[in-house]
Amino acid sequence: MANSPQSQKRARQAERHRQRNAGQKSKARTYIKKVQAAIANGDAEQAGAALAEAIPIIDRTAAKGIMHKNKAARHKSRLSAGIKALPAKGP
């Protein structure tokens, strides 16, 4: 356990940061799942809209160091590839 006042404060700060980061990570995962669900349903239009919402959130988590930049790029790449693989709806 933290003994000095400085280490006690750092422990408090670390806990606040951990909770904030966990929330941001959970939010990113939720948006990723929304895109994956739309892809699974075969709805390219809804999947594209969900991806447009998810990309800034994924980028933000990577920029803050919550998610590694390569992991963020991998998610974006796989989601967009999944959308491109969907059959296009024609008239």
Give residue-wise pLDDT tens across range 13-65.
999 999 999 999 999 999 999 999 999 999 999 999 999 999 999 999 999 99
To 5 degrees, how large is the angle CA 35–CA 39–CA 42?
145
Structure token digits, residue 22: 């966990």
State how far the Cα of 3 lies from the Cα of 78, in Å rounded to an integer. Answer: 47
pTM score: 0.85
